[in-house]
Chain A
Amino acid sequence: MESTGPNPIHCRLRVGVDILRVIRRMLKEWSGVCCKQQRKPNVIQVTDLHFAYPASGFRLHIDRFTIGQGEQVALIGPSGSGKSTLLHLLAGILVPDRGSIVIDGTELTALSETARREFRISRIGLVFQAFELLDYLTVLDNLLLPFRINKAVARPRDAVARASQLADELEIADKLKRFPGQLSQGEKQRVAIGRALITEPALLFADEPTGNLDPATKKHVLHFMLNIASERGVTVLMVTHDHGLLDRFGRVCEISDFYGKTAESTPTGEMLSESTGRP
């Protein structure tokens, strides 16, 4: 004989699940309220950003993306998903097709190219995977380079002292008179970090800065970068492929590779964008 009526055990379980869902929702809302209360003012605010490389068919759309002041955020995603493109858009190197990018209270899309360069050199420090140091300048001259290439950042009187202090913190103080060709990979990247921070920017954008480093060195360099940035209250956004480094960041955001496929990452990630193709 088969029973046709509702199974009392099943009914109780369903009620239990519903109760748990309600509790979870309440917890979620409560945690959201707490997060909002703790969240610092946004230093990066992206709204309805559209960008495309017509030749390759690559498109990037970010509905909304914010980073709070002093946050250290890792940006991950598959190759060609647009991580570096996003970084370049945020730095004002690329210009979006439409949408809004507000960096440190300035609407970037409203600025002329000259103004964007001036804004970039004074407010944003950039670190690249290939270090991109000038091989014919000494470490000291490389550190001081931002003061020499745009009149928007006047060279302070204590520029050399500031460079020496940075070099000291980055443990390259004894390499100031050397040329990049005489340095190890890790040292080169530390010089690049120093160059990015010499102007005391509000933001530090790093595009896979550990990509060319061996595992031991990359942790070392990352440690330097995040610590110094933290001490100076600099907001960090770093593009990386290396999932082993993500636990060093306060937040990890993943950018999807395919149409609408997005993923949320731990511990406090958020859905970021839609993109297609490769830049």
Chain B
Amino acid sequence: MSTDEAVIVGAELAAGHDGTTELVVRLRHPGGAENAVVLDEDVGLALMARCGASHVDELAGHSWRRIMEAGDGV
């Protein structure tokens, strides 16, 4: 895992405003600060597929770039 760029450190499921399940991804940035990135169902599923994850816990350790790729692929 590279430490000079933002990395996914966890993910949780949440209820979204539009009535679907959302993916709340926790991202750790260089320096240690963290924030939550909320992905809609389509992007969340695409992120799991792109990371080869079949469980949300398997997203930890992947680069922030996978989120961007997932979003652009939807």
Whether chain B is bound by chain A comes out as no
Residues of A with Cβ closer than 8 Å to B? none
